[in-house]
Amino acid sequence: MTVNELIKIIGNIIVSVDVIRSGLDRNTPERVRLDNDRDDLDTFQRKIVRSVIDDNTAEFRKYTASLKEADAELAKTINDIKKLAETLAALNRFVTAAGKIAALAG
């Protein structure tokens, strides 16, 4: 995965999270969690865009592999509101992986 591909993947998840958030009452725990995850992803994406990350390192490949796995899990559940708990669990793994990649930026 390249840094540009990473930025696009994070952006796509941000849009999906926004769609889910829009269907939930602002006071539900799920909405609050989604709001926080969305904010984190936005921060990580901006940090990645503004920095230089070497996408040829073992660390980058390891973290992007984790992110790809979480993205694949999200793809199975993100459009089904009945699977919100599964989506939140996969989203947590995605956010964690994105945070580790953003940390490579310094």
pLDDT digits (tens, 9 = 90+) for 75-103: 999 888 789 999 999 999 999 999 999 99
Tell me the domain boundaries of the chain: 3-103
Token pair 């796509």: residue: 12
pLDDT of 105 reads: 85
Residue 98 DSSP one-character state: H
Look up the pTM and report it: 0.90
Among candidates 75, 72, 66, which has minimal Cα distance to 95? 66
pLDDT of 97 reads: 95
On the question of pLDDT at 2 being above 80, the answer is yes
Residue 69 DSSP one-character state: H
